[in-house]
Amino acid sequence: MKRYPANRLFTAAVALALAATLGACGDEGIEFGTRPENRVRPVAPLLLPDGRPDPVVLAAEQVVRRGNGQEPTTLDPHQATGRPSEHILRDLFEGLTTESAGGQVVPGAALRWNISRDARTYTFYLRRDLVWSNGEPLDATDFVYSLRRAADPTTASSAADTLLPIQNAREVLAGELPVEELGVGLLDDAYTMQITLTGPTPYFLGLLASPVAYPVNRANVEAFGDSFSKPGNLVSNGAFVLTEWTPRTRIVLEKNPNFREAEDTLLERVVYVPTEEQATEVNQFRLGELDWTSEVPSNQFAWLQKNYPEELVVSPWMGSYFFGFNLTREPFENNPSLRMALILAIDREIITDKVTRFGERPSFSLVPPGIDGYVPFVPEYADWTQEERNHEARRLLEQAGYSEENPLRVEIRYNTSGNHKKVALAMASMWKQVLGVHATLVNEEYRVFLQNREQKVLTQVFRAGWISNYNDPYSFLEVFRTGHRGNDYGYSNSTFDALLDEVGTERVRARRERLMFEAERIVMTDNVIIPVYSYVSKRLINPHLRGWQPNILDHHPSRFMYMLRSFDPNALAPAPVEDSAPDGLTELEVLPGEESGSVDEAEIEAAADAPETSEEPPPEEGEPR
């Protein structure tokens, strides 16, 4: 074969041009797309005195298209795990309790409830006018059937651990007791039911708002078996009904006219669009095919912040990102000061500002801030400068017997993912720079990693973290109990375990919080984890879409949402809406859901403190912290 210089020159030129294009669309993103000033704006929201939007500001078509991440695993509420399924199920069903737009627990199918003095027995009084989406009446017998189904071993629900606070749930799940023995039953009539717990569980009302506690229609389940959750078969009791499900394409819900608050539901249709790639979701949003994304990719965060400042919404989420130590192995076994040295030598602000760069908050605690009023334990060194931390770290490392001649060698293990890799690399280089530690990185495919982490044979420092599924700090603490299934650290401290036992029986909120604070202090001063940051939820939202509120659960039921119509600068019609509320978003954040939330909260308290039983302990007994 001859050599073709012209050919090679050409190839090189094209390759160069391509490389330049690619370089230009690196982290800073691409300069294409609609400029912010050219985008269509919504009118300012005009709200009626009751907090609902004035019909004149509403778009003609009340449809929202929500990007939903992965394909949902199932729409059987009792089998569902994972956020994509749960988002959809919250629109389709309603539990005894439910959540307001702001994430507060409010009455759902139950109008009110009493909690016994020992906080172990909950009596629920259901609304009497409830119907299923097919028009059949819905009462407490449906809830009793459903909770039993969820706990039935033959259902094999992987979400059933949520039900474990209920009396006998563990035995029923293990097949040792029949489902009828589950601590759930009718009381006086078909509209009153009682749930007995194994111990006080302050977050139990919140658990009842999760999918595994939703009612399913018995006739429907029995008629269709495993395919009862398919469109056309599924009967539900929430604000929307399922009309279409094309796997990995779309799930369409339509407004349920039989829902108890149907007249307050403004959206006519909700379309959930699954996308495996976060970048694809952003593209669809930019083209106007989505009104809401499930996430945004971290490498586009800075670019989106610049170009979509109004659409990009970031708010705290109840998750912590940290790395763990394997306490059962050298070199970290019985060596808290060595662990402390590694914890101190990490500059968290560099990690969040320069490495991950997606709006996370640097953290020194186990429990993320903002969970149910709890203030996390913050160690002393959080107030030091990084220079002071590094100095102390070097002292501790030396004390542990390591030096330049005898450097510490550690392995950081994580599951394959760009973000984990970046953080692990940053940690390794900080350790190298500050302490002269030789860290090696090992990445593994997710399931392999999970298995190794659980076996505690290979790991030294490993990627950990926890995103809670209920609004209570206990969720983060219980993982560190001796022998807990999530305790991949091999951590065991009898004082800590005893404190958690006390938390499990404490009914007074303030005292319980102090116990949890003390427990968190113990874990943190035992140096079990390397806290890095607390999670935030981050997504793009169409400014026309209103009615949602940022909340730490990151739960956003569609029934509170509505679409504003677009602002037309050429229209001659009077535009009073423009003048009345120039800063639409701030006004909105306070108004619709918040108001209904506070009303409902008053309702709960009224119900809980109902004088007829008056077994309820005073809510704020004990010294405030």
Partner 1 sequence: MRQESLFHHASSRLLGLVPTLLLLVTISFFLIRVAPGGPFDAEMAAPPEIRANLEAKYHLDEPLLQQYFRYLGEIIAGDFGPSFQYKDWSVNELIARGFPISATIGGLAMVLAFFAGTLIGIFAALRQNRLADHALMGIGMLGISIPNFVIAPLLILGLAIYGGWLPASGWDWSWQRGVLPVVTLALPAIAYIARLTRGSMIEVLHSNYIRTARAKGLPEHLVILRHALKPALLPVISYMGPATAAMITGSVVVERIYSIPGLGSYFVQGALNRDYTLVMGVVVFYGVVIILLNFIVDLVYAGLNPRIRYDEGR
Q: Which residues bind partner 1 (CB under 8 A)?
A: 2, 4, 6-8, 10-11, 14-15, 18, 21-22, 25, 30, 32-33, 71, 73-76, 79, 81, 153-158, 160-161, 164, 170, 173-175, 226-227, 229-230, 246-249, 273-277, 279-280, 283-284, 286-287, 289, 445-448, 450-452, 454, 466-467, 479, 485-486
Exposed, middle or buried by CB within 10 Å (0-12, 13-18, 19+), for 421?
Answer: middle
> CA 428, 432, 435: angle at the middle one, nearest 5?
120
Helix ranges, 443-591 (H): 446-455, 474-477, 494-505, 509-525, 576-580, 584-590
Three-state secondary structure readout of 480-502: HCCCCCCCCCCCCCHHHHHHHHH
- Compute the least distance from the CB of residue 291 to partner 1, in Å: 15
564 Cβ contact partners less than 8 Å away, ≥ 6 residues apart = 42, 43, 45, 53, 57, 58, 59, 543, 544, 545, 546
In the bound complex, what is the minimum distance in angstroms from residue 462's beta carbon to partner 1?
A: 12
> C-alpha 30: how far from its chain's center?
30
Burial readout 45-72 (b: 16 or more C-beta within 10 A, e: otherwise): bbbeeeebbeeebbbeebebbbbbbebb
Q: What helix, strand, coil percent values describe the chain, rounded to 5?
A: 35, 20, 45
Amino acid (one-letter) located at 558: S
Q: Which long-range contacts (CB under 8 A, 24 or more apart) does 30-34 make?
A: 30/303, 33/286, 33/307, 34/286
Confirm if 192 and 140 have CB atoms less than 8 A apart. Answer: yes
For partner 1, which is the closer residue by CB, 180 or 189? 180
- Shortest CA distance to 323 belongs to which of 408, 421, 444, 470? 421
Comparison of 277 and 623: residue with beta carbon closer to partner 1 = 277
CA distance 68 to 87: 8
Per-residue H/E/C for 263-321: HHCCCCEEEEECCCCHHHHHHHHHCCCCCECCCCCHHHHHHHHHHCCCCEEEEEEEEEE
List, in sequence order, every residue forming a beta bridge with 324; answer none if it has no partner.
462, 529
Whose structure tokens read 């490993």? 462
> What angle (nearest 5°) sits at the alpha carbon of residue 25, between those of residues 20 and 27?
125
